[in-house]
Chains A and B, each alone.
Chain A
Amino acid sequence: MAKAFGEIIIDIDKCKGCELCIDSCPQNTLALAPKINQKGYHYAIKVQDNCTGCLNCALVCPEGIINVYRKIVK
């Protein structure tokens, strides 16, 4: 069975910490960082290495700051 490996890159300086990506992630890959960014928001980070590249976070992210990569291994 083909397996999808995903990877995301978040532009944390533009993150406003709305948590929509965290809520939409079916794998619980994301969480809010304990640190804050230059805007003063807790930003979203990847905390688990189980991303499948499903795109949910990127679709709901209002700022459009999540780049998603997906590699499918057969």
Chain B
Amino acid sequence: MTNPISINEVPVNPEIIQDEYLIYKKPSTLTDKPFHYCPGCGHSTVHKLLMELVEEIGIQSDIIGVAPVGCSVFAYDYMDIDMQEAAHGRALAVATGVRRMLPDKYVFTYQGDGDLAAIGTAETIHAANRGENILCIFINNGVYGMTSGQMAPTTLAGMVSTTSPFGRDVKTQGYPLKIGELLSLLPGVAYVTRQSVHTPTNVRKTKKALKQALEYQKQGLGFCMVEVVSNCPSNWKMTPLESLKFVEEKMIPFYPLGDLKVPGGK
């Protein structure tokens, strides 16, 4: 790390900069490689939260992740755990194989909305319907991020993307797909929740939800999905702060936050 004196305009208090007072640092389960994500992207926040949990629970050698195709395709470069890359949309199919071979490990997939909700719909729904004991982390930002912002099934009605330059018209392009609600109807699914990472409070709640999902997986309750409503400043053509405002004002009213299904509940 750089010399602390040179980075702040006001001098630091060396009495406080001591290991005993350290309350937050980047988790050791993340590699030193800087994220390739755009400034303000929600992907890196979720990577960070997941790896904090892996460090806290102490399961670095007992967790296997499956990376998707999309912006988060290089998730295996950042997460210092065992990872497997899957073909576009097929992360849950690969994770099923991993789960069947290694029944006592934690298995998760990390997917975006183009990967999970469009190209991998069949794999997603059938893996959930089989009740595979997998944690699926679903980052919903309403566009195909890696290929520069084409319309995804989760794009809001009227939202502009490169393939819907006049806004998504539901008459010709269909309605936005609520994967969380869809999966919560299936009997094999144990836990479905929708969270976001646009404020510090929501970041804490998302971390709690991820921890809960890992706990359910340990108990073998079945398929768990944590959907994270995220932002995509570059492809929404906004600054990071404007994109957070868009999440708050447009995305969250359509994708309401909260638990959609809990074990033993509704």
**A48 and B244 contacting across the interface, CB-CB below 8 Å:** no
Query: B residues within 8 A CB of A70?
Result: 16, 21, 23
Query: Known contacts A5-B16, A17-B39; is A68 also within 8 Å of B7 by CB?
Result: no
Does B1 have its Cβ within 8 Å of any Cβ on chain A?
yes
> Per a CB cutoff under 8 Å, which of A9, A33, A68 touches B1?
A9
Does B107 have its Cβ within 8 Å of any Cβ on chain A?
no
- 13 extra A-B contacts, CB within 8 A, seeds A20-B244, A45-B7, A60-B197: A5-B16, A6-B16, A9-B1, A9-B17, A13-B2, A23-B241, A46-B9, A46-B10, A59-B203, A62-B39, A62-B42, A63-B35, A65-B26
Residues 34-66 of chain B, each 1 if its beta carbon lies under 8 Å from chain A, else 0: 110111111111001000000000000000000
Distance of A10 Cα from B3 Cα, bound (Å):
10
**B17 and A18 contacting across the interface, CB-CB below 8 Å:** no
Q: Which A residues between 24 and 64 are near B, CB-CB below 8 angstroms?
A: 24, 33, 41, 45-49, 53, 55-56, 58-64
Query: B residues within 8 A CB of A20?
Result: 40, 240-241, 244
Distance of A62 Cα from B48 Cα, bound (Å):
8
Interface residues of B (CB under 8 A from A): 1-2, 4, 7-10, 12-13, 15-18, 21-27, 30, 34-35, 37-45, 48, 197, 199-200, 203-204, 233, 239-241, 244
Distance of A62 Cα from B181 Cα, bound (Å):
28
Chain A residue at minimal CB-CB distance from B204: A59
Query: B residues within 8 A CB of A33?
Result: 9
> Per a CB cutoff under 8 Å, which of A16, A18, A49 touches B10?
A49
**B35 and A7 contacting across the interface, CB-CB below 8 Å:** no
**A41 and B17 contacting across the interface, CB-CB below 8 Å:** no
Where chain B touches its partner, the secondary structure class is loop
Query: Known contacts A14-B34, A64-B30; is A9 also within 8 Å of B21 by CB?
Result: no
Query: Known contacts A9-B1, A12-B7, A63-B35; is A68 also within 8 Å of B24 by CB?
Result: yes
The contact sample of 12 A-B pairs, CB cut-off 8 A, is A6-B16, A9-B17, A10-B8, A13-B2, A18-B233, A23-B244, A45-B7, A46-B9, A55-B23, A58-B24, A62-B40, A66-B24
Counting from the closest, the 6 A-B pairs by CB-CB distance are: A18-B40, A16-B39, A62-B44, A18-B39, A64-B26, A7-B16
**B27 and A63 contacting across the interface, CB-CB below 8 Å:** no
Distance of A71 Cα from B20 Cα, bound (Å):
9
Distance of A17 Cα from B40 Cα, bound (Å):
8
Question: How far is the CB of A74 from the nearest CB of chain B, in Å?
Answer: 14
**B2 and A12 contacting across the interface, CB-CB below 8 Å:** yes
Distance of A71 Cα from B48 Cα, bound (Å):
24
**A19 and B241 contacting across the interface, CB-CB below 8 Å:** yes
**A62 and B45 contacting across the interface, CB-CB below 8 Å:** yes
Question: How far is the CB of B228 from the nearest CB of chain A, in Å?
Answer: 13
Question: How far is the CB of B146 from the nearest CB of chain A, in Å?
Answer: 17
